[in-house]
Amino acid sequence: GLKVAQVVAGSPAAIAALRVGDVVVAVAGEPMGSATSLQRWMVEEAIGQPVEITVWRNGALVDVIAVPRELGD
């Protein structure tokens, strides 16, 4: 999994209620074992489309929905 090190206020991660310390284990049902596997999801086709993210938090699996968006200037 991928440990969440920072959540920027107002970001899609913040809106989805991801927390620092969460461990992302799957995105849209696909296991995440590296930053590369997550980056494959952050492509143009994903922008604006809701995606389920499964995280390990406080000893339990938690599902959240995030909507990726273009990075601001």
The whole-number pLDDT of residue 73 equals 46
Half-sphere exposure of 73 (CA within 13 A, CB side): 0
From start to end of 1-73, where are the E strands?
2-3, 23-27, 30-31, 51-57, 60-66
Interval 4-40: pLDDT, tens: 999 999 999 999 999 999 999 999 998 998 888 887 7
Residue 44: pLDDT band (50, 70, 90) is low
Task: Indicate the pTM of the whole model.
Answer: 0.85
Task: Specify the pLDDT at position 58.
Answer: 95
**What pLDDT score was predicted for residue 37?**
81
> Is the pLDDT score of 53 beyond 60?
yes
